[in-house]
Structure 1
Amino acid sequence: MPRALSPRSLTALAAALLAGCSTIGEPPHDWLLLPTAAVVAVSNGYLTIPGLAAGIAAYAVLDPLAPNWNLQEARLGEERYRLVLRMKAVHSGGAGEAYQVFARRAEQLAGQPGFGAYEVLRWQQGIESNRPFAQRVAYGEIRLVRSLPPVAVKQP
């Protein structure tokens, strides 16, 4: 049965591993400020466990790296698609991006083999009053236009 490492052994192992990383080059020392500031904030009582938990919960709801729009598409036929866009409930911008997201996806669909363009059949946007937050929505329908086969050139 393997033996557990003592805290002293773990510290020595971590120091040896970190020493091996130092051959890459000296990192900038600005990154040292973040852990130091965190230790000072905790020791002076500025940062508490409930406050930290609230910050993590707020980040999980707001998630600034998540896309602003959720896109769902439904194929209505061989050449027709319906695209439904819903903006995330809590956002910090992106209210005017609906048509850009719609057009980008329509261009991707029109890039399929056999198609050369798309035609917008319907476009509608508005706000749905959901609880607890109202949500921007947009609906669009497109028809893919088939590309014409190349015309053969007559030889004289």
Structure 2
Amino acid sequence: MTEAWQPRAMPTLALSRVARMIHRLVELRLSPLGIKTAQLPVLVALKDGAKLTQKELAVSAGVEQPTMAQLLARMERDGLIRREPSPDNWRSSLVMLTAHAEALLEPGREVLRSIDEEVCAGLGAEDRETFLRLLYKIAEGAGEADR
């Protein structure tokens, strides 16, 4: 006899649902700045004047190159990044943030901080620390599942 299906007792399903809710909240709050959640890994990787190739950004963000190419094309269109020829490889270009994107970093960080505070308001410092530790353990397990 099989166990009764109890999705509310499955932490991964609850985590997935909460992640979607938070993703929508982040999209909503970043939207007035002209930033999308998918752009965050690129913005983080290129902060402080870093210059990286599309391939390096794809690896850093954990996405395929075609996905990164599309994302970078939209970011370039929106004035968030610019490209310059790579001095090491004539077939490649280096991607960097524009001054406009640099100016959006701190307001974007503030949006993310405020969401973190709102969403985690019911957690004390010890609970928050435990929650983070458990999330990283779950992430390790999910990473192992990919191999």
The two structures have a TM-score, normalised by structure 1, of: 0.27
Larger radius of gyration: 1
Answer 1 or 2: which has greater strand percent: 1
Q: Which has the higher contact order (CA 8 A, sep 6+)?
A: 2
The two structures have a TM-score, normalised by structure 2, of: 0.28
